[in-house]
Structure 1
C-alpha cells in the first residue's frame, strides 16, 4: 500500500472516530423528561399530601388497627412493618392474622402471641 493510501485511510478513521465521539457527548433533549425542579415540586406536594392524610399516619403506627384489615391493607402493613417482630407490633400481628385467615400465609410455626 502506498503512503498516501495509508494516510488517507488513517485520516478517514480519525474523522469517523471524532464524529462518533462528538455525537455521544452531545446532550439529547427529551421533551417528556422531568426537570429536577419539577421532580422536587412533586415530591414536596406528595409530602404535604401525606402529612394531611390521617390514614397514612395511622398505618405507620404500631398500635392495633381499629378495623379488620383486608388483604391489600394487610400486605401493605406487613411491608411497612417488616422490621417489627410480630409478637411486639400489634399492627403487624393483625396483618399477619388477616393474611393467615385469607390463606395468603401458611406459617410452619405460629408465633405464641397469635395462637
Structure 2
C-alpha cells in the first residue's frame, strides 16, 4: 500500500468516526431544573396583561371629592373612550390635572 492510500484510508476512517461520534448524543438526565420550554410557557402566561374593567362597569358619576394627581391620571386612563364633555368623572380628573399643571388646555 502506497503512502497516499494509507492517507486516504486514514481520512475515511476519521470521517466515519466523526459521523459516529456526532450522531451519538448523551441521554438527558433530569436535573430537577426547569426546562426552557417550561420557562417560556410560564413567561407567556405571566405576560398576559390583566383585564381592564369594562366601560359599563366604570362609574361615570362625578367624584365626591377632588382628585389627587395619581387618581386623576388613573381615571383618565380608565376613561379613554369617554369624552370630557360627556363623562363627569373624566371631566373632574381633567380639571385636577389642569390645576396641577400636568395638562395644558387648548
- TM-score range for the pair, normalised by the shorter chain length: 0.5 to 0.7
TM-score (norm 2): 0.59
1: CA distance between counterparts of 2:32 and 2:85?
A: 54
1:28 deviates by: 4.1
CA RMSD of the aligned region, Å? Answer: 3.2
1: CA distance between counterparts of 2:17 and 2:23?
A: 10
Larger radius of gyration: 2
Structure that is richer in helix per residue: 1
2: CA distance between counterparts of 1:66 and 1:12?
A: 77
| 1:75 alignment counterpart | 73
| 1:11 alignment counterpart | 20
TM-score (norm 1): 0.55
| 1:88 alignment counterpart | 86
1: CA distance between counterparts of 2:92 and 2:104?
A: 15
2: CA distance between counterparts of 1:6 and 1:100?
A: 77
Higher relative CO (Cα under 8 Å, sequence separation at least 6) belongs to: 2
Q: Which stretches in structure 2 are left out of the alignment for 5+ residues? A: 1-7, 46-56
Give the count of matched residue pairs: 77
